[in-house]
Amino acid sequence: MAPHTTLEDLVGIEHSKLGFYQELQRKVEELKTSNNELEEKRKEVQALLDGITDLMVVLSEDLKIQSVNHVFGEWYPEADPIGKKCYEIFNEGDSPCEECPVLKALDCDETTKDLRIYEEGGKLRHYELIASPLKISTTGERTVLLFKRDVTREKEFQAQFYQAEKMATVGTLAAGVAHEINNPLTAISGFAEGLRRRLSRIQGKVEDDLYDDFEEYTDTILKECLRCRDIVRSLLTFSRPVASTLRPVDLNQCIEDTLFILKHHFKEQHKVTVKTELYKKLPMIQGDESQLKQVIINLFTNALDAMDGGGTLLVKTYPLEDNGAGLIVKDTGCGIPQEIQNKLFEPFFTTKPAGKGVGIGLSTCYSIVKNHNGEISVSSEEGKGSSFCVRIPGIDK
Amino acid sequence: METTKFAIPEIIFGRGSLKYAGQCALRHGAKKVFLVSDSGIEEAGWVQRLMDVLAEAGINWIYYPGVTSNPRDYEVEQGAKFYLKNDCDVIMAIGGGSSLDTAKGIAIIASNGGKIRDYEGANRVERPLPPMVFITTTAGSGSDISQFCIITDVERAVKMSIITRTLVPNIAIVDPLILRTKTETLIIQSAVDALAHAIEAYVSRIASPFTEPQSLKAIDLIMRNLQSAVQTRSLDSLEQLSIASIAASMAFSNASLGAEHALAHSLGGQFDMSHGVIHPILLTSVMRFNLDSCVSKMADIGRVILNKNLGSDKETAMEGINKLDEFFASFDVPLKLRQVVNKDDQKHLEPICKMAVNDVCNLTNPRSASWQELLTICEKVW
């Protein structure tokens, strides 16, 4: 039943035709709130997108660029990409690339990956391409999101990792071989010593010529045994470098000592000029002096060997940012071909004629430097010379 | 003077003004109009005409033909479901009081939910209603102008009055051309209904200087034009009657009614009779009952009816009421209650009067009426 009605109710001063104003206002408030929320979300998503360091483009079915992220502008500051075909920008071509991952992604309707190598500024760069079909277009038009990531550094690291792993394997192998050779070598050398001691007893009892031959052959055997012993020792050093005690070492002093030892060696090479640029206040490094000298000798002899026809040997030291010390040994010799540069530090790799070297010099250098937590690298140009760079970290980094 | 209020919809009046229905709906944001009417209007061709107008304006519509005379609560509730299901946005009704009240009821439920009886009484609708554009085909009920909506509560067998300013339609279109298809009975019934509206609003306790001239104008126009409208069916007379109806509606929507309408609602709820039938029977009796409480106002009415002044206000008033009796008698309409109610049903008069006392309309009657007094009135006109 209706509640009691009064005359005032009928006049209804306080009542009027209800409009949707309040509802409208509420709706507007709701929309404002929801708009703000969406804007926040959009900013969040934008921040996420901006955080992506890969190049991103959205492509239409006919490979026209529809939108790009900020990385695009950094990589291609000149280009105005929207509406252009992707291959016009990336490849400067006039037709789609072979086995285009975008077209493949559209065909199979699934994410496709591809690895491409482009030459840029004379250097080869590796790119990973990921194409994902997008299903968000309101018009039903299909689009593809393409990621382009520069993986050149990753590829380099990967190569270095393979190299290090190979070296470790070869090192283990070498150690095994060295041990096996050591025993027969000791026997040969022992018996050769025995023969030499007994030589005097047959002196005068055989023809002089025969005696001379015996003496010469025995000496040769012993000499070659010693050589073998050195090689074996070097091999062992390479695989399991002596747990030498590291102490503060002045790299400049090492260089000067080595130059002194090799003084005579250099004199024989009349046409080679030795230049030194030693940084006076070079920081001390933590190291094994004799091992470091071995590295320096190796680099010097290699440099001399490379400069048969004469040239300049530059020896330079410089401080490193982390309080370490760097050494550059640069020659003006024959240089090292590009394709073998990455094999230089492998054991038994040598370019010297058979008999002149066994190819453990640089590999030994490599393992010594690694044990000092340092780096050794080479840059070389054929016919112009090579430059070896050794960097050893400081005592307190 | 008490603080008062006067509210009416936008009124578009004139021959052929039906053609503006489409634009009216468009102005209220219509994409899909909920069109309410009944079979009589449909047969007269006005529904189709209105549909053409809507189509011309590029508006879709859903037609709801489920209107009966004295609309019932469940019909309104069904209509609201239909409205919501079809995602309509503007309610348009073409027809008499039943169609328009059905449309109002649907509007209330569609936007406020619940049952229609939840809104019985004054100012109980709390949420905005869909825009309403109404086209009257009777020019009598005043539902196209008023803040009233009368729906029958089937269970209680009573006509509920729902009153709220928000029920005032947004636009009322009164096109006299439509009135030409009215039957003679309908012309008389709607004119007499308007006359009752005008008289009761004039003597209402909350009549105001803004409603009173409308009442007198309506009385005047009806007295001068109804006879010729019935006899000649001239468009001019019908037009004058529709002006009278609008004027009466403006008055009663703001000043409310009286005991006569309270009784009419209760009788109508009980016997499902046409609203317009009751006024010639009851109106003058109720006026006589009220006379002493508002002699000067009744005299005003008498002056308009008689077109002259008699010796005293009371005389003028009495003579006016007598003249009104004669006026009703000049038409072929029932003048006694027994002509429209079965003898067996006379026993229902007591409960009907008890119910009428509580009708909102009784509130504004110039003289407080008890159910016994109402029963006496009924018995006088039996």
Residue A1 has pLDDT above 60, yes or no: no
Residue A193 lies in a domain: yes
Residue A87 has pLDDT above 90, yes or no: no
pLDDT at A36: 95
Q: How far apart are CA A395 and CA A284, in angstroms?
A: 7
Highest-pLDDT range among A83-97, A254-268, B161-175: B161-175
**Beta-carbon contacts of residue A338 (< 8 Å; ≥ 6 apart):** A382
Does B168 contact chain A (CB < 8 Å)?
yes
Does B292 contact chain A (CB < 8 Å)?
no
Residue A229 has pLDDT above 90, yes or no: no
- Does residue A266 share a domain with residue A211? no
Phi–psi pair at B78, nearest 5 degrees? -65, -45
**How many other CB atoms sit within 10 Å of the CB of residue B351?**
14
Nearest to A7 among B125, B129, B363 (CB): B363
Q: Give pLDDT tens digits along chain B (382 positions).
A: 688 999 999 999 999 999 999 999 998 888 899 999 988 889 989 999 999 999 999 999 999 987 888 889 999 999 999 999 998 999 999 998 889 999 999 999 999 999 999 999 889 998 899 999 999 988 778 899 999 999 988 888 788 889 999 999 999 999 999 888 888 888 999 999 999 999 999 999 999 999 999 999 999 999 999 999 999 989 999 999 999 999 999 999 999 999 999 999 888 888 878 788 999 999 999 999 999 999 999 999 999 999 998 889 999 999 999 999 999 999 989 999 899 888 888 888 999 999 899 888 899 999 999 999 999 999 999 8
- Disruptive mutation site among A1, A4, A5, A15 for chain B (greatest number of B CBs within 10 Å): A5
Q: How far apart are CA A88 and CA A72, in angstroms?
A: 14
- Does residue A232 share a domain with residue A179? yes
Residue A25 lies in a domain: no
A372-380 long-range contacts (CB < 8 A, ≥24 apart) are A372/A246, A372/A285, A372/A286, A372/A287, A372/A288, A372/A291, A372/A292, A374/A324, A376/A345, A378/A336, A378/A341, A378/A344, A380/A335, A380/A336, A380/A341
The two three-digit tokens of residue B27, written as one number: 């102005």
pLDDT at B318: 95
Residue A1 lies in a domain: no
- Does residue A386 share a domain with residue A297? yes
Give bridge partners of residue A149 from the DSSP assignment: A128
Phi–psi pair at A65, nearest 5 degrees? -75, 125
Could you give the percent of chain B with pLDDT greater than 70?
100
Summarize pLDDT for A200-220 with one digit per residue, the tens: 888 888 888 999 989 888 988
A2 chain-B contacts, CB cut-off 8 A: 120-121, 124, 160, 360
Check CB contact under 8 Å for B165 and A15: yes
Residue A121 lies in a domain: yes
DSSP B126-183: -SPPPPEEEEESSSSS-TTTSSEEEEEETTTTEEEEEE-GGGS-SEEEE-HHHHTT--
Summarize pLDDT for A138-193 with one digit per residue, the tens: 677 888 888 888 888 888 778 777 766 776 677 677 777 877 888 888 889 889 99
Q: Helix B349-357 crosses helix B371-380 at what angle (to 10 degrees)?
A: 130
Q: Is the pTM of this model over 0.80?
A: no
- Does residue A297 share a domain with residue A371? yes
Residue A238 has pLDDT above 60, yes or no: no
Residue A67 sits in a domain of what CATH number?
Answer: 3.30.450.20
Pairing of strands B32-36, B90-95: parallel
Residue A270 has pLDDT above 80, yes or no: no
Lowest mean pLDDT among A24-33, A113-122, A357-366, A383-392: A357-366
B164 chain-A contacts, CB cut-off 8 A: 12, 15
Would you place residue A372 in the very low, low, confident or very high pLDDT band (cuts 50, 70, 90)? Answer: confident
CA distances from A287 to A291, A363, A369 (A): 8, 18, 9
Give bridge partners of residue A229 from the DSSP assignment: none
What's the rounded mean pLDDT across residues A110-120? 84
What class does CATH assign to B10-178? alpha beta
Would you place residue A246 in the very low, low, confident or very high pLDDT band (cuts 50, 70, 90)? Answer: confident
Q: Which amino acid is at A356?
A: K
Check CB contact under 8 Å for A11 and B206: yes
Q: How far apart are CA A346 and CA A332, in angstroms?
A: 23
Q: How far apart are CA A116 and CA B36, in angstroms?
A: 71
Residue whose entry in the numeric block shows the structure tokens 């016919």? A383
Would you place residue A90 in the very low, low, confident or very high pLDDT band (cuts 50, 70, 90)? Answer: confident
Nearest to B122 by CA among A13, A214, A82: A13
- Does residue A311 share a domain with residue A229? no
The two three-digit tokens of residue A300, written as one number: 């010097």
SS3 B381: coil
Q: Which amino acid is at B166?
A: T
Nearest to A17 among B4, B166, B360 (CB): B166
Q: How far apart are CA B150 and CA A112, in angstroms?
A: 71
A13 chain-B contacts, CB cut-off 8 A: 3, 5
- Disruptive mutation site among B73, B148, B354, B363 for chain A (greatest number of A CBs within 10 Å): B363
**Closest residue in chain A to residue B155, using alpha carbons only:** A1
Residue A298 sits in a domain of what CATH number?
Answer: 3.30.565.10
Where a domain ends, among A104, A128, A150? Answer: A150
Q: Which amino acid is at B261?
A: H
Residue A240 has pLDDT above 80, yes or no: no
pLDDT at A292: 84
- Does residue A198 share a domain with residue A269? no
Nearest to A20 among B128, B254, B360 (CB): B128
Does B232 contact chain A (CB < 8 Å)?
no
- Does residue A341 share a domain with residue A269? yes
Residue A85 has pLDDT above 80, yes or no: yes
Residues B190 and B276 sit within 8 Å (Cβ to Cβ): yes
SS3 A372: coil
Nearest to A288 by CA among A242, A244, A233, A241: A244
pLDDT at A378: 87
Residue A224 sits in a domain of what CATH number?
Answer: 1.10.287
Does B125 contact chain A (CB < 8 Å)?
yes
Interior angle at CA B94, CA B91 and CA B99, nearest 5: 80
Residue A124 lies in a domain: yes
- Does residue A131 share a domain with residue A170? no
Residue A354 has pLDDT above 70, yes or no: no
Q: Whats the size of chain B, residue-wise?
A: 382
Nearest to B128 among A1, A5, A23 (CB): A23
Kindly report the average pLDDT of chain A as a whole number: 82
Q: Domain tally for chain A?
A: 3
Nearest to B103 by CA among B124, B81, B125, B132: B132
Q: How far apart are CA B273 and CA B264, in angstroms?
A: 9
Q: How far apart are CA A298 and CA A262, in angstroms?
A: 11
pLDDT at A394: 83
Q: DSSP letter for B72, please.
A: B
pLDDT at A157: 78
Domain range spanning residue A142?
49-150
ipTM associated with this complex: 0.77
- Disruptive mutation site among B5, B112, B127 for chain A (greatest number of A CBs within 10 Å): B5
Residue A241 has pLDDT above 60, yes or no: no
- Disruptive mutation site among B112, B156, B163 for chain A (greatest number of A CBs within 10 Å): B163
Residue A6 lies in a domain: no
CATH second-level architecture of B182-380? Up-down Bundle (1.20)
Higher per-residue confidence, A330 vs A396? A330
Q: How far apart are CA B273 and CA A188, in angstroms?
A: 140
**Beta-carbon contacts of residue A80 (< 8 Å; ≥ 6 apart):** none
B166 chain-A contacts, CB cut-off 8 A: 15-18
Residue A274 lies in a domain: yes
Residue A315 lies in a domain: yes
- Does residue A167 share a domain with residue A89? no
How close B169 comes to chain A (CA, Å)? 9
A9 chain-B contacts, CB cut-off 8 A: 121-123, 163
Residues B206 and B256 sit within 8 Å (Cβ to Cβ): yes
CA distances from B201 to A99, A223, B143, B209, B254 (A): 90, 142, 15, 12, 8
- Domain layout of chain B by residue ranges: 10-178, 182-380
- Does residue A334 share a domain with residue A301? yes
**Closest residue in chain A to residue B148, using alpha carbons only:** A10
pLDDT at A307: 84
B205 chain-A contacts, CB cut-off 8 A: 7
A-B CB pairs within 8 A amount to 65
Q: DSSP letter for A353, please.
A: P
Q: How far apart are CA A366 and CA B336, in angstroms?
A: 129
